[in-house]
Amino acid sequence: MSHAADPTAFADIDVNARSRWWRRLPLVSFRIADVEIPNRYLLAPMCNVTNLPYRLLAREQGASLVSTEMLSSVALAVGGERSLQMMEFLPDEHPIMVQISGTDPEVMRRAAEMIQDYGATMINLNCGCPVKKIIKGGSGSALLRNPRLLRRILRALRPRLRIPLTVKMRAGWDEQSINAVEIARLCEDEGVDAIMLHPRTRRQMYDGQANLDLIACVKHAVRIPVIGNGDVFTAADAFDMLAATGCDAVMIGRGAIGNPWIFRQCVIEEVRRTHSSPNVLAALPSPHPSLDERLTMIRRHFDLLAAYTGEEIALRVFRRQLMAYLKGLPHSTTFRGHLPQLTSRHMFLERVEEYFRKIAQRDVGARDHAEAQMNGFTEKVG
Ligand SMILES: Cc1cc2nc3c(=O)[nH]c(=O)nc-3n(C[C@H](O)[C@H](O)[C@H](O)COP(=O)(O)O)c2cc1C
């Protein structure tokens, strides 16, 4: 840990011990090349979200394969501080995938070798990012329009890598050029070890729905593992995707923001669907977090982020995630009004704790009210 603001905060975290609860469960695993992925629920790479602190929390809750944010191969190859920090992971944070973007095969090879030497489990090539700044330079989803360049990149990377190489992509550039099947076949031919597919075009951005049929087509077209991605917001969505497409695993993005419990919910749902042993079922934790657990998670996430980036950046970056953590709770949208006041850790905790205290009281109030009604009911019938 050389790039964290406070590396001591990470020194004692035992990633394996914290994820032991789900690793012991009878879950379906799969392989990417020779790497065993211990369950089928993966954390999607997300800029400003899947940094080291959040990855630790997602893993504890059940995410099997986690990913860094997207790193520019150019920035990495020249040793850019921020990219080096984004590449960083804990020694036992495995399996982990480091994602790169770029267009220059030679620069990408250098970046990929750095990642391999650093000890990543696998590398992922971004062929899906729809953001203007990225596609303007020809990388991200623009590579879907340039299969010849994509092939050259893969040919530069593959022979130099001892670790698995995976590709994450979209359906195609636009409605008229959906080419996920062709691109997946090209990748397989060039020795790629797994495909991750978000079946929307670049033009769609997030419009419409993820096209599950396309995941099924890609799965049918190649023999390497295909990981489905897109619109998984609940455990039921994950099982629907697995069943509808035959994909090997699902990768969860937006559904995991402010909601690391989605991985726990998937894991628990799988055990419930496939095992009837009372001992196994009785040992499962509750799928849904209590208010206390939510608050503890928010505090821990924020403190880890502050230890990683420093308090000032953490306060800025955490706001959006905080709103996601509160989603669905009473009056959570009104909390948005407090966001500009969260200018220090002290203020942050004070406001968040006050909000949780209030809704806990409402909870108790609601329970008392329900009990009073119930007593009234029993008195009447008694
Ligand atoms: C905030 C945010 C940041 C993202 N950053 C990346 C990224 O760095 N690399 C990448 O391949 N995809 C990125 N994505 C796309 C997700 O990995 C995923 O493919 C997409 O959100 C669809 O999955 P979902 O419906 O589960 O969110 C990002 C998505 C979001 C919402």
Dist. CA 353 → ligand 1 center (Å): 30
Confidence of residue 377 (pLDDT cuts 50, 70, 90): very low
- Summarize pLDDT for 214-238 with one digit per residue, the tens: 999 999 999 999 999 999 999 999 9
Give the Cα separation of 382 and 191 in Å (integer). Answer: 74
Q: Whose CA is nearest to atom 29 of ligand 1?
A: 46
Dist. CA 299 → ligand 1 center (Å): 24
- Summarize pLDDT for 31-58 with one digit per residue, the tens: 999 999 999 999 999 999 999 999 999 9
Res 101 pLDDT > 80: yes
Kindly state the helix (H) or strand (E) to which residue 53 belongs, with its residue range. helix 52-61
Going by the DSSP 8-state scheme, the letter that residue 341 receives in this structure is: G
CA distances (Å), origin 235, targets 145, 256, 263, 270 = 34, 11, 8, 9
The pLDDT of residue 374: 45
Res 190 pLDDT > 70: yes
Residue of 41, 46, 49, 131 to test ligand 1 pocket, by largest number of atoms within 8 Å of CB: 46
Residue 151, C-beta contacts closer than 8 angstroms, at least 6 positions apart:
186, 190
Dist. CA 237 → ligand 1 center (Å): 17
- Of the spans 299-313, 326-340, 366-380, which averages the highest pLDDT? 299-313
For residue 329 the two structure tokens come to: 């709770």
Buried b / exposed e over 169-194, threshold 16 CB at 10 Å, is bbbbbeeeebbbbebbebbbebbbbb
The pLDDT of residue 364: 59
- pTM of the entire predicted model: 0.94
Give the Cα separation of 220 and 122 in Å (integer). Answer: 24
Regarding the beta carbon of 231 and ligand 1, being less than 6 Å apart is answered yes
Res 107 pLDDT > 50: yes
Residue of 41, 43, 47 to test ligand 1 pocket, by largest number of atoms within 8 Å of CB: 47
Nearest in space to 257 (alpha carbons), one of 310, 196, 321, 174: 321
CA distances (Å), origin 114, targets 49, 68, 122, 167, 288 = 23, 15, 12, 18, 40
Task: Give the residue-averaged pLDDT of 348-359.
Answer: 95
Give me the count of residues in the chain.
382
- Indicate the pairing of strand 35-37 with strand 30-32: antiparallel
The pLDDT of residue 276: 79
Active-site residues, by number, are 129
Residue 2, C-beta contacts closer than 8 angstroms, at least 6 positions apart:
88
Per mean pLDDT, which range of 25-29, 196-200, 277-281 is the poorest?
A: 277-281
- Summarize pLDDT for 270-315 with one digit per residue, the tens: 999 998 788 889 989 999 999 999 999 999 999 999 999 999 999 9
| DSSP per residue, 354-368 | HHHHHHHHHHHHHHH
Confidence of residue 367 (pLDDT cuts 50, 70, 90): low
- Summarize pLDDT for 124-135 with one digit per residue, the tens: 999 999 999 999
CA distances (Å), origin 318, targets 60, 277, 289, 298, 373 = 19, 41, 20, 10, 41
Which atom belonging to ligand 1 lies closest to the Cα atom of 198? 19
Regarding the beta carbon of 255 and ligand 1, being less than 6 Å apart is answered yes
Confidence of residue 381 (pLDDT cuts 50, 70, 90): very low
